A = this chain, B = another copy of it.
Amino acid sequence: MRLEDVNTPALVLDKSRLEANLRRMRERAAALGVRLRPHLKTAKAADVARLAVDPADDRAAITVSTLAEARQFADCGYRDILYGVGMVPAKVPAVAQLIRAGARISIILDNPEAARGIAEAAGAEGIRLAVLVEIDCDGKRAGLVPDSPVLVETAGIVHAAAGLELAGVMTHAGGSYACRSVGEIRAMAEQERAATVAAATRLREAGLPCPHVSVGSTPTATFAGSLDGVSEFRPGVYMFQDLVMAGLGVCRLSDIAISVLGQVIGHQPDKGWVLTDTGWMAMSRDRGTAEQPVDQGYGVVCDMDGEVIDGLIVVGASQEHGIVRRRDGGPIALGDFPLGRRLRILPNHACATAAKHDRYLVVEGGREIVAQWPRFSGW
């Protein structure tokens, strides 16, 4: 089957681009001397995960954002799984099931109350749970700042609890998505490194173990100058890349491995609009490039071979309609876009767009569909 033959809209994954992206990040990890623990929240697919990190490798380690991901990837044979969202006692029984089935699940927390509650829940389940203390390196979300007055107390509660094992510290530099230059990303990477290493140092000076120091975001992983003192990083979106990453200078448009296949369903000649069936149900409502120097609307329009059609973006979207126009407002030669012409749209945010679909149509640079890889969702 070929891209010409399938129902639209549909999600296309270019395996050649995926493999190149995976290789580049493996090389980054090797150059920086850290373990790559990829975040699988973007891919949510066993077939993609296997290319990113071989589950049969004893050192294989992954990151997930939901317990559904933890379950699915444990079923694929991954043993070392970091659940990277603040843990609550009510979710411990679900984690305990995975641990009893043989997985090593690490969880994160960032305060004494959580440490005590999760220690109690783990004790009640009779499991031993690895815990990383979450560090706030950029003020964007969760975590303790490295000089927090409760950092050592929190880690100490974990270390003392029979059901918990203090495995170290972790952070996520989500602030890197808002950087305006490669220089700013490089500085953010150093800020991310320094914050976690400072927290690790405080724990060790207090006599607590801190074997793992975990950082990661695709921008900082791409541009970090040094990761001295860090043991692993956890980028995720690098597998597919997207327009937000391209806007940050993290990748080129030609590195973006996923696109939404659609077709022309109409025109508004007076307005110079081409209407497509790539609405927000297929693209997502994510408008991440709206904050960047170049606003890409709901996506950049490519031809069927994945080549960018210069200047065309999806400027508007309703549930099942996309409106394509020139970025500069100039006229489109509508004759070049007859009813039924197929297009591929590069997304703002790979995580959000991929989540609108239940499978990847896999191509290798061309239009031939060489595989269909299922995706999962839910919690």
A284-330 at interface with B (beta carbon < 8 Å): 284-287, 318-321, 323
Contact of A85 among B142, B320, B352, B379 (CB under 8 A): B320
A235, chain B: closest CB distance, angstroms:
14
A7 and B70 CA atoms in complex are apart in Å by 14
Determine, out of A19-27, A219-227, A238-246, A259-267, the stretch whose residues face the partner at the interface: A259-267
- A60 proximal to B (CB < 8 A): no
Cβ A142 vs Cβ B339 within 8 A = no
Contact of A117 among B90, B142, B339, B378 (CB under 8 A): B339
A377 and B318 CA atoms in complex are apart in Å by 16
A290, chain B: closest CB distance, angstroms:
10
* 1/0 contact string of A328-369 vs chain B (CB within 8 Å): 000000000011100000000101100111100000000000
- A9 proximal to B (CB < 8 A): yes
Q: Which residues of B contact A142 (CB under 8 A)?
A: 265-266, 268, 275, 321
Cβ B111 vs Cβ A318 within 8 A = no
* 1/0 contact string of A103-117 vs chain B (CB within 8 Å): 000000111011001
A33, chain B: closest CB distance, angstroms:
28
A368 and B66 CA atoms in complex are apart in Å by 25
A90 and B7 CA atoms in complex are apart in Å by 8
Contact of A66 among B91, B280, B320 (CB under 8 A): B320
- A94 proximal to B (CB < 8 A): yes
A369, chain B: closest CB distance, angstroms:
16
Known A-B contacts A111-B266, A267-B111, A339-B113; A281 and B355 likewise in contact (beta carbons under 8 Å): yes
Cβ B114 vs Cβ A266 within 8 A = yes
- A10 proximal to B (CB < 8 A): yes
A338 and B114 CA atoms in complex are apart in Å by 10
Q: Which residues of B contact A284 (CB under 8 A)?
A: 284-285
- A86 proximal to B (CB < 8 A): yes
Cβ A88 vs Cβ B263 within 8 A = yes
Q: Which residues of B contact A113 (CB under 8 A)?
A: 338-339
A109 and B267 CA atoms in complex are apart in Å by 11
A132, chain B: closest CB distance, angstroms:
14
- A174 proximal to B (CB < 8 A): yes
A66 and B320 CA atoms in complex are apart in Å by 8
A349 and B319 CA atoms in complex are apart in Å by 11
- A67 proximal to B (CB < 8 A): yes
A377 and B275 CA atoms in complex are apart in Å by 22
Q: Which residue of B lies closest to A68 (CB)?
A: B7
Q: Which residues of B contact A65 (CB under 8 A)?
A: 281, 319-320
**Apart from A8-B379, A139-B271: 8 A-B pairs, beta carbons within 8 A:** A7-B94, A8-B90, A66-B320, A90-B263, A114-B266, A141-B318, A141-B321, A285-B287
For this complex, 8 residue pairs linking A to B, each with C-beta atoms less than 8 Å apart, are: A9-B379, A41-B320, A85-B320, A141-B323, A142-B265, A174-B318, A282-B379, A284-B285
